Amino acid sequence: MRAFFGPGGRLAASLPGFEPRAEQAALAQEVADALERGEHLLAEAGTGIGKSLAYLVPSLASGKRVVVATATKALQEQLLTKDVPAAAAALGRDVDVAVLKGRQNYLCRKSLHTLALPLFRTAEDATEYERLQDWIETTETGDRAELAFEPRPTLWSELAVGPDRCAGRRCPFLGSCFSEQARDRAREAEVVVANHALYFADLALRAKTGAGAGILPDHDAVVFDEAHRLEEGAAAWFGGRVSLGGLRQLLRDVERACRETRTTVPARVLAEIDRRGEELVTGLDPGRGRRRLTEADAEAASAPAAALAGALDQLAETLRGGSDDLDQLARRALGAVDDLGACLAVGGEGTVSWAEQGALAWAPIDVAETLRELLWEREVVSVLVSATLEPRFLRGRLGLDEARQVSLPSPYDYREQALLYVPRAFPEPRSPGYDARLAEEVLALCRVSEGRALVLTTSYRALDELAERVSPRIPYSVLIQGDAPRERLLKVFREQVDSILVATQTFWQGVDVQGESLSLLVIDKLPFAAPGDPLVEARCERIAREGGDWFAEYALPSAVLQLRQGFGRLIRGHADRGVVAILDPRLRTRGYGRHFLEALPPAPLVGDLEAVAEFLDTRERATA
């Protein structure tokens, strides 16, 4: 690895502007050793190390077939357009890389063939379909990522393959299927880029078929980038849901298949499923967020649930034996019955169920044993990397008992490049008047920084409240999450240097804005999970039942990991300089505050706004 990453090495020779970093070389050597020895690896690689190249180069040099699974599309794009070509240049040869996505990302030729205008749900869908015609007729991949805009979900659901709608080898359009062509390319590739969800889908299919063929090609190793998100991804995949949208998609697919096979549409049964589905889901709908289902909820929902399950069973019986397509729809109906039963089987120790807008869902409380059985005990080498991995915490949460563990610090000089501001004499988040005081502090900070700020909130409620209070009172453009797609907001934020972006949830991670546009990062409060979140609550209960400390073992380390992710949005390059403001006095006043402070990069801590102004003014003079 020294031959690649050291001064005067292959990367320096092939990549303009490459800066040798000892931490990157060390990570690459750890990955190379893990692949050679067949050992799992947990690697925390601080921001700026260049972890993508540090695992790509040894993976490609090993001669093994490797799958790289990410949590975000943005990282997939970076790997394909930037990092893999850089690794190939250093290796001095072409690299065969393929990206593989879930079937729902690809245009379905069979759906196009059977599509009829009356099936469009809205006039807007019909209009947008006409807009897509040129792309539909000329695309070579069928991947919706080629589109310059995100198609309407209601339209794309009619055009896409869909995870439950694919006829597989029985499809008459198999030879020209975009999804199958992507799989064929993946089977020939050295490196396959996928996402966490697709990897879990592959694991589940291999388990179901007894280690038979999966979605992904057979491979020797998997690199989980953004591995801090693995537990949530696994819980979502190994759980299930029943949504009103999913039920209605099933009904439309039944109507389409019956029309194509000239079978009588079971109209009465379809109407009953629609009516009972709406009665069940809307009856438990919490409006916003997620609400844990109780035994009382299950009892209250028993009548519409039983009626819905009966109608789905009747639909399956009606469809079974009609054709391959109708048999597949019958299996989907029975799968919905199973998920419905799991959602309403509340009170068990192994799972938790909840209601959310338009759906019921369930998930396993603990994924450690499932991952141990399906993933870690296989012969496939697993490498888990992230800037904020918290290895000791995630080792237990993921069931990864036997793995080498390494933590490598960021090469950035946070003592010089960053300042941490925690105001003195600030109210705690649940105090009366906190929202108004928070807004005043954000306004004062953004005036000092002259915009150039990313404001991260811990909830949508706080996002709405803060945006409403700040936007009319500041002479800078205020961008708000939800007003435009994520990548478009980030593009505007980068280009409008003095703008302010107010966001939550997904913007806490995966946001890379270098330079002056992000000079101030504001975090409203410590990111403890929302009280009453069903999955978090159930995990804490399990720890308490087993005699553990749910706060110290789960709530606190989870919040520390999230705060570290948020903090990491500020410094993205050696030339970056800025302030992180965390507007939560508990960092100073509570005993657990030191755990957060010790986990953050070593930026100087200040409590006065004047110190922030002086630091930013020093930055201006340094860059003038």
Domains of the chain, by residue range, sit at 2-96+189-237+367-408, 104-173, 261-362, 414-623
Q: How would you class 357 by CB atoms within 10 Å of its CB: exposed for 0-12, middle for 13-18, buried for 19 or more?
A: middle
Q: What is the model's pLDDT at position 426?
A: 94
Domain 2-96+189-237+367-408 has CATH 3.40.50.300: yes
Residues 6+ apart with CB under 8 A from 617: none
Q: What is the model's pLDDT at position 622?
A: 47
Q: What is the model's pLDDT at position 115?
A: 67
Instruction: Show the 3-state SS of 179-217.
Output: HHHHHHHHHHCCEEEEEHHHHHHHHHHHHHCCCCCCCCC
Per residue in 540-583, pLDDT (tens digit) is: 999 999 999 999 999 999 999 999 999 999 999 889 999 999 99
**At 262, phi and psi to the nearest 5?**
55, 45
> Angle at which helices 302-319 and 324-343 pack, to 10 degrees?
160
Q: What is the model's pLDDT at position 624?
A: 46
Measured between alpha carbons, how far is 334 from 619 in angstroms, rounded to an integer? Answer: 63
**At 522, phi and psi to the nearest 5?**
-110, 130
Measured between alpha carbons, how far is 400 from 39 in angstroms, rounded to an integer? Answer: 11
Domain 414-623: which CATH number of 3.40.50.2300, 3.40.190.10, 3.40.50.720, 3.40.50.300: 3.40.50.300
Measured between alpha carbons, how far is 536 from 547 in angstroms, rounded to an integer? Answer: 17
The distance from CA 448 to its chain's CA centroid, rounded to whole angstroms, is: 34
Sign of CA dihedral 526, 234, 143, 59: positive
Per residue in 214-241, pLDDT (tens digit) is: 789 999 999 999 999 999 999 988 999 9
pLDDT, averaged per 10 consecutive residues of the chain (624 residues), comes to 91 89 95 96 93 96 94 86 93 92 87 66 82 90 85 83 71 87 91 93 80 81 95 91 92 86 88 95 89 94 95 94 86 94 88 95 94 92 93 90 91 96 93 93 95 94 92 93 86 94 90 91 94 90 94 95 94 93 96 95 95 82 47
Do 31 and 58 form a contact (C-beta atoms < 8 A)?
yes
H or E element, residue 394: helix 391-398
Q: How would you class 334 by CB atoms within 10 Å of its CB: exposed for 0-12, middle for 13-18, buried for 19 or more?
A: middle
Q: How would you class 463 by CB atoms within 10 Å of its CB: exposed for 0-12, middle for 13-18, buried for 19 or more?
A: buried
Instruction: Quote the tokens at residue 315.
Output: 């639909």
pTM (predicted TM-score):
0.89
Place of tokens 């099933």: 250
Per residue in 88-122, pLDDT (tens digit) is: 999 999 999 999 988 888 998 888 876 654 467 67
- How many residues appear in the chain? 624
Sign of CA dihedral 127, 131, 134, 137: negative
For residue 479, give the 3-state DSSP assignment: strand
Domains 2-96+189-237+367-408 and 414-623 share a fold: yes
Do 31 and 39 form a contact (C-beta atoms < 8 A)?
no
